[in-house]
Structure 1
Amino acid sequence: MEKTNTIITIGRQFGSAGREIGYKVAKDLGIKLYDKEMLARAAKESGLCEELFETHDEKPTNSFLYSLVMDTYSLGYSSGSYADMPINHKVFLAQFDAIKKIASEGPCILVGRCADYALEDNENLLSVFIHADLDARIRRIARIYDLTDAKAKDMIMKTDKKRASYYNYYSNKKWGSAESYHMSLDSSVLGIDGTAEAIEKLVELKERDSNKKL
């Protein structure tokens, strides 16, 4: 029996331990976490091959020009049909549908991939963004991937830039901006366990107060 009916979405800076925190919350609440699993699900349900989802995973469109060329190319066919969309849009929409379907099956945690945007009308949603001090993130990434600090920093900057571009392109919000989420937490202040605990407490408060509204 799950201890919650909340769907938690986690946006995260690279190296902030967002996924690890998500797994801890999922274990404590007895619910499933979806990270790369969202891609597999979207591939299975859309009939598009999984490699496409991997290639486009939280990456912005290759370029404006690429989209323009693809859009012009698709206009030669029956304009407006799903089949003729640029592949990046197809991938995004398939993922969007998969996220909505996963959420309709009950409480869970969804990491990244504009899940908060896909579910913004869902009353059970609690959207969280996890960030951390850059030095703490550099130390973590350098340790995990066995990199120098300079290489770790470069990897962080590039990954965050991709995530931000993807989110800003497909949603109507700004990645990492406080007003885009219900709550923003600094894991370098709270630690992994503390951040997980804070999210669990927020779920508890949200459910307590939504019961009062009924």
Structure 2
Amino acid sequence: MEKTNTIITIGREFGSGGHEIGTRLSELLEIPLYDKEMLDRASKESGICQELLKAHDEKPTSSFLYSLVMDTYSLGYTSGSYSDMPINHKIFLAQFDAIKKIADEGPCILIGRCADYALEEYSNVLSVFIHADVAKRVKRISRMYDMTDAKAKEMILKTDKKRGSYYNYYTNKKWSAIQSYDVCLDSGVLGVDGCVKAIAEIVKIKESIQKVVL
């Protein structure tokens, strides 16, 4: 396959196979995948310990801290200046900076963590959201974690709520809404392989259109 120049961001419902889709797409397109690795980069570049980043990973925070984030940008926040901020605030901005730096290095796949929002000004980004019927996600999670269907469903609902609250909080968009992404795919209908093939084809189409425009 011809080398891509596209950065792909993948938002995902818990249990929809978003990480697996990203991994296979990474292998097919021969570009790096960043999921938890984003936390490692944010930790190295900000000096915030990994344990703190993981503890706050894609979890909502208070409205007071959200207002601080907005105030920081309005006051002229510059990349890497994290002094005198609450920890939740530091973590959000550290991840935000890490995502941009990763994207500046070249084509890649970024899983979750508001990456589509962080890169919304980049023309070579394709934002994707993976979803699936709850019943199908319950089967997948119960199999993966060897738990009952009831426990799997509880885990799915809690994780989706956290991810949705986090995304809605820090972006000007709504998590899982079709208007928030370039492409929404149902992995329960297409399967993991089908989603991988679909995204790869859409990348080709996007890049061919960009060439015509240029």
- Same structural fold, with TM-score higher than 0.5 when normalized by the shorter chain: yes
Distance 1:96 1:52 in 2: 16
Superposed CA RMSD: 1.6
Q: Please tell me whether the aligned partners of residues 6 and 203 of structure 1 are also in contact (alpha carbons under 8 angstroms).
A: yes
Distance 1:46 1:82 in 2: 8
Q: Residue 196 of structure 1 corresponds to which residue in structure 2?
A: 196
Per-residue CA distance 1:16-39 (angstroms, 9 max, x = gap): 000000011110000000000000
Structure 1 counterpart SS, 2:83: helix
Q: Residue 155 of structure 2 corresponds to which residue in structure 1?
A: 155
Structure 1 counterpart SS, 2:3: coil
Distance 1:89 1:181 in 2: 25
Distance 1:31 1:83 in 2: 34
Q: Residue 145 of structure 1 corresponds to which residue in structure 2?
A: 145
1:205 paired with 2:205, answer yes
Structure 1 counterpart SS, 2:130: strand
The Cα shift of 1:198 comes to: 0.3
Letter in 2 for 1:135: A
Alignment of 1:15-30 (within 5 A): 15-30=15-30
Q: Residue 94 of structure 2 corresponds to which residue in structure 1?
A: 94
Runs of 4+ in 1 over 4 A off after TM superposition: none
The Cα shift of 1:109 comes to: 0.1
Distance 2:43 2:108 in 1: 19
- When residues 139 and 166 of structure 1 are mapped into structure 2, their CA distance, relative to the original with a 3 A threshold, is same
Structure 2 counterpart SS, 1:176: coil
Distance 1:134 1:39 in 2: 28
Q: Please tell me whether the aligned partners of residues 16 and 131 of structure 1 are also in contact (alpha carbons under 8 angstroms).
A: yes
The Cα shift of 1:86 comes to: 1.4
Distance 1:2 1:164 in 2: 35
Distance 2:14 2:186 in 1: 13
Unmatched segments (≥5 aa) in structure 1: 72-79
What TM-score comes out, normalization by structure 1 length?
0.91
The Cα shift of 1:82 comes to: 3.3
- Percent of pairs identical after alignment? 67
Structure 2 counterpart SS, 1:121: coil
Q: Residue 133 of structure 2 corresponds to which residue in structure 1?
A: 133
Structure 2 counterpart SS, 1:3: coil
Unmatched segments (≥5 aa) in structure 2: 69-76
Q: Please tell me whether the aligned partners of residues 2 and 31 of structure 1 are also in contact (alpha carbons under 8 angstroms).
A: no
- When residues 141 and 118 of structure 1 are mapped into structure 2, their CA distance, relative to the original with a 3 A threshold, is same
For these two proteins, the number of residue pairs brought into alignment is 202
